[in-house]
Structure 1
Amino acid sequence: MKRRAVFTLDAEGRVDSWSEAARLATGYPAEEVLGWHLSDLLAGGVEVAHRVLTGAETAGDHEEGASWVGKRGAGFQANVLVFALRDGAGLLRGFAAVMGEADESWRPSGARGQDVVEGITDAFYALDRGWRFTYLNKTAERLLSGSRETLLGKNIWEEFPEASDLKFHREYHRALAEGRTVQFEEYYEPLEAWFEVTVYPSEEGLSVYFRDITRRKESGERLDQTLKELADLKFALDESTIVAFTDQRGRITYVNDKFCEISKYSRNELIGQDHRIVNSNFHPKDFIKDLWRTIARGRVWRGELRNRAKDGSVYWVDTTIVPFLNSRGKPYQYVAIRHEITDRKKTEEELRESNALLNSVIEGTSEAIFVKDLDGRYVLVNSAAAEIIAGRPCAAGEVIGKDDTQFLPAGVARPLMEADREIMASGETRRVEEEVPVKGAVRSFLSTKAPYRGDSGEVAGLIGVASDITELKKAEAALQEIREAERNRIARDLHDEVLQDLTYALQEVQLSGTAATPEGKGVAGLKEAEAALNRSVRGLRSAVHDLSLEPDAGGPFRRSVEALVELNRQMNPGCRVDLEVHESFPGELPGKTSKELLRVVQEALANARRHSEADRVKVFAGTDRVGKLRVEISDNGKGFDPEKVLAGIGTRAMRERVRALGGDLTVTGAPGDGTRVTAEVPYGADGVAEAPAQRARVLLIDDHASFREGVASVLRAQPDIEVVGQAGSLAGAREALASGPPVDVAVIDLGLPDGYGAEIIVSLRAANPRAQAVVLSATLDRAEIARAVELGAAGLLHKASSMAEIVDAVRRLGAGETILPLGEVVELLRFAGTHKEQEQEARRALESLTDREREVLALLAEGLDAAEISARLHISAKTERNHVSRILSKLGAHSRLQAVIFAARHGAVEIS
């Protein structure tokens, strides 16, 4: 080997620099061999390396022939010459090694040391005490970007002024001043490089070895950044993710803090165990076998697992198990990454229950319930709706995804869909009467339609509830015909027979009066009879008029009311009756509106004529500022006291007529100040009276949202009922009563999450003293019912009651009727009183127990027998029996079990 390869070793004999010649000679690149021991390069191994290094350290240098180990096992022969390198204090710093042939030029000499320095990979330069360069090797020239000719003899601080403000200047001066070796790392910006520097002081100056470590520093920074990212990732995982490692057999080798937190086991309790420690036995064996079969084959498994914590609580985790494979492709460990989904699973279960309940409510009603999207396609229908839409019994799936044009004639479908689009565009709820062909016949439906909104609050479609009112309309029409026929018959009979007879009798009395004796005998009596007959005739004429009054549909209201006023003037000539019809009042009204308003005017005039003793009555018809029709009848009669006089049949009839038109009727008055009857009726801009307003204002209180929505949808379909609020708890109900609209009827579930439902009745009555409550109970327990009645419940229904029963109860309570018979109410109140007395007696009995007797009773509730109780309390068996005997006597029980049940019923113990 002609070429000499130079490299250096640290004081331990490990390679710390490697020249290009050494790479060519051995085949090892520097990045591979750095850190190796000299023995790794010599075929003689540790023995030869120890001899060479010891000889160099002792004698200063050592040379011998050696067998070298090249890359891939290739060997070669070459001498090894090793020099000991020492610092200014004589301490061993390392070795310079030369690989090559032996000749005289390699005997100890100054030239040989220079060649060694030239051959090493470190940069080297020497400075005298005046900081002038005295020597540079080639590596130093390359790294400093300067030649020997330009740098030798030059001051280092003048040539590299930027170094004056860096560690170079400070450490060089310290090495020279203190006479000891210094090492440091520093970045030199002009060369854009990091350097590792070792400075050896001597009498002549400084010897400086330095190397470019920029790549190492950058790698270190990248490593630090990677480690920081890994630490951040671990922190994020520990905060949000449950992580566990297991070996090939499934034994846990690592868990993070989140695993311990959710399982409630400590890390020491988990390490070494397998996952059966958290198994809840919920999943079937085949499920677990499939999991293990998947990961054992090296595939990732994903799924949801139900686990059990140390305290017995159950939790769900979304799990991903990843196998780590060895070089043969076999798993040697597994990592399981989990996220807790307990709340989500609970929500899913509640949603399933709610959907099941909602489906039962939807399918259990006879009303047609449907939902459409923005394009008018059906997205949900119940069985009743499917049969109506398709015109035959069919499954809901045959209707879903289709619109009305696929079931109905175009002339029917298009107006229906256009009306639905208007409702969705307006965002308002509307109640409409529609006629639809079903099974070859046209049927009438009263439909309540409202837009429904998605999560974003935007209208997503339309929901509707339709009731078939065909038979109802037929029955109403038939009943109306019967009423009119009977009314006309009575009026005809009164007019043709009774009224004619009375008129004839009146004429005879009047003739008799003119033929009376001069003395005037009998005249007074005849005058009285004449007055009575006059009153009877006027009354009968009024009755005939009342019975025969039936304006034609769409007839002129103004002409009809004028005729009615004129008739009353004739029947009551001593009273002035004025009529004012404002120009804003429509000339024509729909038949029903005109008829009902005329009935109200007629009834009010009749009341004034019969009861008011007024000498002046005024009838006014006009509109208010919001376009409502306003009809007012006032008099200057004797008036009445509203607190003492209850509404009669006539007043109630007037109120019902106005309500049927969607309006309000008020009757005001005071003693001596006359009476005023005012009817206000909504009236559309198109000249058609608006739909009747919802009257009974209902608040639904139930913790099952789907049940509330089901009841609400049915109640909203009723023309005389309005759902003004919903609540799922006592707190929510109190807030609704405090800040929401007035409530007439509350439908209350007794079992609410934050208390006994009937307790809200107090707040209900405080908000509206006339409000009523109907309570729903799942058990109809007599004590529970009695307590609800005692708190003021006016009605009671089982939770399984039909929707029709709930609607009927709400309607009756809203109308002021009672549901529970008075006798039953009294009986329930008596029972409530008796139940309270029994509770008080039980409390007194339990309070009579001594502390020791309470301890014995609590242990009985835990299920301990006599011997176990004696041992637990450190008492004899006889003493235990005496305690039990006294407990049975005080509680009136006949056995230990009966005593425990008695105490548990009254909250004194909890049965384990």
Structure 2
Amino acid sequence: MAKEERLIERQDVSGGVLLVDDVGKIQYINEHACEKFGYKMGGLPGLGLYFDEFLPKIDPETVAEGIVTSTYGLNAEGELFPLFFSMNSFRLDGELYFLYVFHDGENRARLADKMSASPNELVDYKFALDQAAIVAITDQRGKIKYVNDKFCEISKYRAGELLGEDHRIINSGYHPREFFTDLWQAITAGRVWHGEIKNRAKDGSYYWVDTTIIPFLDGDGKPYQYLAIRFEITERKRIEAELQKMTAQIIDVQEEERKRLSRELHDGLGQNLYSHLITINRLMSELDHPLLVQMQEEAMEMIEEIRDLSWELRPSVLDDLGLVPAIRSFLTRYSNHYKIAVHFDCVLGRRLAPGTETTIYRVIQEALTNVRKYAGVDEAAVTIREYEDAVRVMIEDCGRGFDISGGPRGVGLFSMDERARASGGELQIISEPGKGTKVILEVPVG
């Protein structure tokens, strides 16, 4: 019996086996390994091939003995496929050999007989994770060195097309440069990053993934590789987009109805009452009766109430003159009526889209209503700033404040948040008991 065969027999190995000498030449390969690499035993090229022609992604000097390692093998079709292996070195007749034993997910029981509990447990974890998640491992420079089958399935790339590349290969262009800058700053500092990313598959289709990236740190606390675990959320994002679109349509319908009611109150009922007031004034010029004075006062009060109601529903100045005049008019009425001085600082040099102007106006209106009801102050501030691609609005008071984590939000805060999202913007509430409140709205502009 040849010394290579005696060595195999001594190890009592079942499953896929490669025996490699100290220069990397394959000295023995069994039938199970042939099947795993896609060869028929009779059709296998002659022995003397090198290790890296079967396992091109592994540096033998970095493989720890007796530890299960995941890698990629190169099959007879020239394609990479994932596999597990363990390695042990032996000397026979003074010569050094390396024995590689291959396993797969179905042979974990066999693996348990040959490995210690700790590596076997890790293999089980990996198997379970691969069934549910999209997994990738990159080196410290971001180069991909491992992807699981689900990654290939969703990205529509073969493993061989992804290995050695970075994640720019699936960059959709949806996220700004700053998004990935912040991501890299977090993980290179050793912090776990979590967020949602829109990617582009090989065929041009787009998909969303909920992503967690975990840095693996060396003894100096520096990342030496990164594990990315992802779950596809494309359908959820589609539904969210549909809901946002529906919400925007509902808000538009509400605003149109408000506009219609406002005009009917102002131009219909309001004008009729004003005509009655003119008639009363004529009667008063001819008759002197206390009931006429009472009728005049009541008519004037009703006209004022209808004007206020019409204004609350939809100020005509917002449609006719635009956002800034409408806000100035609103703040004047607000300050006069509620005795709360509002400092207004605005840098906005143009008209915005009607929906955007309505969103900003309604958020300011609702925020100041909350100031009046809950803040307990006699002054507040509204600031509007225009940037290259967004408008930022801040409503601020130094009143009672509240605990933003203290329970569900009220109708007013919910309404502001829904309006912001329907416009593609974002609403932020900053508040603490006794330290006032800031409502910050950012909406994109073309």
2:252 maps to 1:475: no
Give, as a single letter, the amino acid of the residue that structure 2 aligns with 1:360. Q
**In structure 1, C-alpha distance between the alignment counterparts of 2:215 and 2:374, rounded to whole Å:** 53
* Deviation, structure 1 residue 482: 1.7
Shift of 1:450: 3.8
> Given the alignment of the two structures, is residue 541 of structure 1 paired with residue 305 of structure 2, yes or no?
no
Structure 1 residue 357 displacement after superposition = 2.6
After TM superposition, the structure 1 = structure 2 runs for residues 419-568 of structure 1, keeping only pairs within 5 Å, are 423-424=183-184, 427=188, 429=193, 431=195, 434=198, 436=200, 439-441=203-205, 443=206, 445=208, 448=211, 450=213, 452-456=215-219, 457-461=222-226, 463=228, 465=230, 467-468=233-234, 471-472=238-239, 474-476=241-243, 478-514=245-281, 515-516=283-284, 517-545=287-315, 560=323, 563-568=326-331
Shift of 1:486: 0.7
> Is contact 1:431-1:449 (8 Å) kept?
yes
Question: In the TM superposition, what whole-angstrom CA distance separates every residue of 1:42-86 from its partner, at most 9, and x where no partner exists?
Answer: xxxxxxxxxxxxxxxxxxxxxxxxxxxxxxxxxxxxxxxxxxxxx
Instruction: From 156, 173, 176, give the equivalent of 1:390.
Output: 156
Residue 566 of structure 1 deviates from its aligned partner by 1.9
Q: Is the 8 A contact 1:575 1:615 kept in 2?
A: no
For residues 834-881 of structure 1, give each alpha carbon's deviation from its aligned partner in whole angstroms, at most 9, with x where no partner exists.
xxxxxxxxxxxxxxxxxxxxxxxxxxxxxxxxxxxxxxxxxxxxxxxx
SS in 2 for 1:487: helix
Contact 2:142 2:167 (8 Å CA) reproduced: no
Contact 1:372 1:461 in 2 (8 A): yes
Any idea what the Cα deviations from partners look like across 1:629-682, whole Å, max 9, x if unmatched?
78234499xx8999xx9964114444677897373332767xxxxx9542257x
CA distance, structure 2, for counterparts of residue 649 and residue 587 of structure 1: 32
- 1:665 maps to 430
1:618 correspondence with 2:373: no
Any idea what SS the aligned residue of 2:289 has?
coil
Give the SS at the match of 1:678. Answer: strand
Give the match for residue 372 of structure 1. Answer: 138
- What corresponds to 1:578 in structure 2? 342
SS, match of residue 290 in structure 2: coil
2:431 match: secondary structure: strand
Alignment CA distance shift 1:545-1:666 (3 Å):
farther
Cα distance, 1:603 vs. partner? 0.2
Q: Which residue is 2:366 aligned to?
A: 603
Q: What does the per-residue CA deviation read over 1:25-52, in whole Å, with 9 as the maximum and x for residues that have no partner?
A: xxxxxxxxxxxxxxxxxxxxxxxxxxxx
Structure 1 residues 668 and 512, CA, compared in 2 at 3 Å: closer, same or farther? farther
Q: Distance in 2 between matches of 1:373 and 1:549?
A: 56
Contact 2:375 2:436 in 1 (8 A): no
Supply the AA of the counterpart residue of 1:495. Answer: S
Please tell me whether the aligned partners of residues 373 and 379 of structure 1 are also in contact (alpha carbons under 8 angstroms).
Answer: yes
After superposition, the Cα gap between the structure-2 partners of 1:288 and 1:598, relative to the gap in structure 1 and judged at 3 Å, is same
Matched to 2:152, the amino acid is A
Of the two, which has the highest radius of gyration? 1
SS in 1 for 2:116: helix
Shift of residue 538, structure 1, vs aligned partner = 1.0
Separation in 2, partners of 1:664, 1:607: 12
Shift of 1:380: 3.7
**Partner letter of residue 486 of structure 1?**
V
Secondary structure of 2:233's aligned partner: strand
How far is the alpha carbon of 1:490 from its aligned partner? 0.4
Question: Does structure 2 conserve the Cα–Cα contact (< 8 Å) formed by 1:449 and 1:464?
Answer: yes
Residues 406 and 575 of structure 1, relative CA distance in 2, 3 Å threshold: closer
> Matches of 1:380 and 1:571 in 2, distance apart?
62
Give the equivalent residue in structure 1 for 2:60. none
Alpha-carbon distance between aligned partners in 1 of 2:395 and 2:176, rounded to the nearest angstrom: 39
Q: Classify the secondary structure of the residue corresponding to 1:521.
A: helix
Residues 489/632 of structure 1: CA separation in 2 closer, same or farther (3 Å cut): closer
RMSD: 5.8
Identity among equivalent positions (%) equals 14
Deviations 1:357-399 (A, max 9, x none): 322332xxxxx553433565433445553233227xxxx6455
How far does the alpha carbon of each residue in 1:771-801 deviate from its partner, in whole angstroms, 9 at most, with x for none?
A: xxxxxxxxxxxxxxxxxxxxxxxxxxxxxxx
Structure 2 counterpart of 1:359, from 122, 125, 130: 130
Q: Go from structure 1 to structure 2 and tell me whether the alpha carbon gap of 1:633 and 1:663 turns closer, same or farther (over 3 Å shift).
A: closer
Supply the distance in 2 between the matched residues of 1:615 and 1:420 (Cα, whole angstroms): 42
CA distance in 2, matches of 1:433, 1:389: 13
Per the alignment, residue 439 of structure 2 pairs with: 679
Unaligned runs of 5+ in 1: 1-285, 292-302, 305-317, 324-341, 363-367, 551-558, 624-628, 670-674, 690-912
The answer as to whether partners of 1:542 and 1:571 remain within 8 angstroms in 2 is no
How far apart, CA to CA, are the structure 1 residues paired with 2:377 and 2:427? 33
- Tell me, what secondary structure is at the counterpart of 2:314? helix
Partner of 2:46: none
**SS of residue paired to 1:403:** coil
Distance 1:650 1:521, change over 3 A: same
Question: Residue 581 of structure 1: SS of its match in structure 2?
Answer: strand
From the superposition, tell whether residues 446 and 455 of structure 1 become closer, same or farther in structure 2 (CA, over 3 Å): same
Q: 1: CA distance between counterparts of 2:311 and 2:305?
A: 10
1:586, distance to aligned residue in structure 2 (A):
8.6
Give me the whole-angstrom Cα distance separating, in 1, the residues matched to 2:89 and 2:202.
54
The 1-side partners of 2:128 and 2:428 are apart by 37
Which amino acid letter does the alignment assign opposite residue 439 of structure 2? A
**Structure 1 residues 618 and 530 mapped into 2: Cα distance closer, same or farther (>3 Å)?**
same
Kindly report which structure 2 residues correspond to 1:49-68, keeping only aligned pairs within 5 A, or say none.
Answer: none
Instruction: Please say if residues 404 and 417 of structure 1, whose CA atoms lie closer than 8 Å, have aligned partners that are also in contact.
Output: no
Letter in 2 for 1:351: L
Distance between the aligned counterparts of 1:416 and 1:566, measured in 2? 38
**Residues 528 and 425 of structure 1: CA distance in aligned 2, closer, same or farther (over 3 Å):** closer
Residue 537 (structure 1) shift = 2.5
Structure 2 Cα separation of the partners of residues 347 and 356 of structure 1: 14
Please give the alpha-carbon distance, in whole angstroms, between the structure 2 residues aligned to 1:322 and 1:473.
65
Render the CA deviation track for 1:275-326: whole Å, top value 9, x for unaligned: xxxxxxxxxxx989969xxxxxxxxxxx99xxxxxxxxxxxxx999999xxx
Which residue identity lines up with residue 345 of structure 2 in the other structure?
V
The 1:495/1:482 distance shift into structure 2, 3 A limit, reads same
1:579-615: per-residue Cα shift (whole Å, max 9, x none)? 2328xx8989999998766543210233456x57999
- Give the partner amino acid of 2:151: A
Report the secondary structure of 1:663's partner residue.
strand
Amino acid at match of 2:298: E
CA distance in 2, matches of 1:398, 1:630: 49
